[in-house]
Amino acid sequence: MRVDRELRLVGVSRAFGEHVALDEVSFTVRPGRTTGFIGANGAGKTTAMRIILGVLAPDAGRVEIGGRPLTLPVRARFGYMPEERGLYPKMKVADQLVYLGRVHGLDLATARRRTHELLEQLGLADRADDHLQTLSLGNQQRVQVAAALVHDPIALVLDEPFSGLDPLAIDAMGAQLRERAEAGVPVLFSSHQLELVERLCDDVVIIHEGRVVAAGDAGDLRAARAGRRYRVVVERPDGAPVPSPDLLATLTAAVPAATRVADPTAVRSGASATDEELAGVVVDLGPDGDEDALLAAALGAGRLREFAPVVPTLAEIFREAVR
Ligand SMILES: Nc1ncnc2c1ncn2[C@@H]1O[C@H](COP(=O)(O)OP(=O)(O)OP(=O)(O)O)[C@@H](O)[C@H]1O
């Protein structure tokens, strides 16, 4: 029988003295999917993860798996990578992983096999007999991930597993998380690297000052905010683009609700063009702006070269959600 592993936080609150770190936080980490947990420093990510793992008690609310309250034996089968990395610096890498596997109930042969497999997959096989403290910080981090994975966890909760890793290690780690998710494990990880989250996550939870401000399928969140944003490029009769400020003035005169937003294409290409040199603008119509009126204004401004919906990046959604 397949275990229902959907992990849910329901109305979880937690204060430290007067400071409310989590305020009725609810979200779901779906099995078979990776969920990115994002929020500014101090937003409450680590607190929520500690509560999931039972390291910290909530003041109110609960954590469930498969619709049932989490019990200690079930929690023991979770994989957790805490923010404060907690391995033994003077112990050999492989011995440490075998030991942790045994603590989690694996027999010796299985613990050794899993350790060997993980070290191979994470590119650390040649460091198996080195003391942890002799490894670089990035490689110690890889061992931390191996420690969270060694007992074949039924759920994975990782606090900033990518911080400090080089691009190759990020790929190796990302592949591990993806593989675990595909095996039906709910995977939750926090990160400040939003492009990485965008690349690796199926779902996303955005937390701001202790409250969830957006959650769900990352593609849906982006698509829901598309369609109200357009990139408009208009040419003069001589073929030169109408300068951005002039074009913006024309568009906003016709559609007062339209506001300019940073052009993600310009930012991504690292363009250093001034406003006058930039071809076109990206405008957001907000809830009230009229698309037809925007198009009519763009047509009236010259020869229309581009009128295309812009799908915001996760980083843009994040910035807006936490404003
Ligand atoms: N043990 C504690 N005692 C007092 N305050 C705490 C404690 N743990 C967390 N806090 C406070 O709760 C808030 C949320 O902290 P938390 O560590 O959960 O944030 P975070 O989103 O993980 O931040 P970061 O991205 O910086 O790691 C912060 O204001 C923090 O100072």
Distance, CA 154 to ligand 1 centroid (Å)?
A: 26
The C-alpha angle 163, 167, 171, rounded to 5 degrees, equals: 90
Distance, CA 176 to ligand 1 centroid (Å)?
A: 28
Tell me the pLDDT tens digit for each residue of 50-92: 999 998 999 999 999 999 998 888 888 899 988 776 788 889 9
Distance, CA 46 to ligand 1 centroid (Å)?
A: 7
Share of the chain above pLDDT 70, in %: 93
Closest-CA residue, ligand 1 atom 1, reads 16
Counting every residue written for the chain, the total comes to 323
Structure tokens at 161: 């597993």
Q: What is the pLDDT of residue 269?
A: 42
30: closest CA among 47, 13, 5?
Answer: 5
Closest-CA residue, ligand 1 atom 30, reads 42
CB 280 within 8 A of CB 247: yes
Closest-CA residue, ligand 1 atom 25, reads 41
Residue with tokens 């931390």: 144
Closest-CA residue, ligand 1 atom 16, reads 44
Q: Fill in the DSSP letter of residue 133.
A: G
pTM recorded for the entire structure: 0.81
| pLDDT value at 267 more than 70 | no
Tell me the pLDDT tens digit for each residue of 145-171: 899 999 989 999 999 999 888 888 888
Distance, CA 81 to ligand 1 centroid (Å)?
A: 16
DSSP letter for each residue of 194-209: HHHHHHH-SEEEEEET
pLDDT band, residue 122 (cuts 50/70/90): confident
Of the residues 18, 37, 47, 190, which should be mutated to test ligand 1's pocket, given the most ligand atoms within 8 Å of the CB? 47
The binding-site residues of ligand 1, defined as CB within 6 angstroms of any ligand atom, are 16, 19, 21, 39, 41-47
Question: 254-282: b or e for each residue (b if 16 or more CB lie within 10 Å)?
Answer: bbeebebbebbebeeeeeeeeeeebbbbb
pLDDT band, residue 263 (cuts 50/70/90): low
Q: What is the pLDDT of residue 270?
A: 44
Distance, CA 50 to ligand 1 centroid (Å)?
A: 11
Tell me the pLDDT tens digit for each residue of 206-248: 999 999 999 999 999 988 877 788 999 999 988 888 888 899 9
Give the number of the atom of ligand 1 that is nearest the alpha carbon of residue 210. 14
Q: What is the pLDDT of residue 278?
A: 58
H-run or E-run covering 23 = strand 19-29
Distance, CA 106 to ligand 1 centroid (Å)?
A: 34
